[in-house]
């Protein structure tokens, strides 16, 4: 199991966009993906 964090304190820098695209690609390649958002 791999755990990947996409972290940056600044807002609007692309965290959600990168996370969604990375998750989609990993799922497309056959990984079981759980994506969670811990943004306060």
Ligand X SMILES: Nc1ncnc2c1ncn2[C@@H]1O[C@H](COP(=O)(O)OP(=O)(O)OP(=O)(O)O)[C@@H](O)[C@H]1O
Looking at beta carbons, which residue is closest to Mg ion? Answer: 16
Binding-site size for Mg ion (CB under 5 A) equals 2
Q: Is 11 left (phi over 0), alpha (psi -120 to 50) or beta?
A: beta
Site for ligand X in 7-26 (CB under 6 A): 11-17
Q: Which two structure tokens, joined as six digits, stand for 21? A: 């695209």
Q: How far is the CB of 39 from Mg ion (least distance, A)?
A: 6
30 DSSP assignment? T
Q: Which residue do the tokens 């791999």 mark?
A: 2
- Residue ranges that bind Mg ion, judged by CB under 5 A: 15-16
Q: Which residues bind ligand X (CB under 6 A)?
A: 11-17, 39
């Amino acid at each position: 199991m791999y755990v990947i964090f996409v972290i940056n304190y600044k807002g609007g820098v692309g965290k959600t966009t990168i996370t969604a695209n990375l998750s989609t690609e990993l799922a497309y390649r056959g990984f079981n993906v759980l994506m969670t958002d811990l943004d306060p």
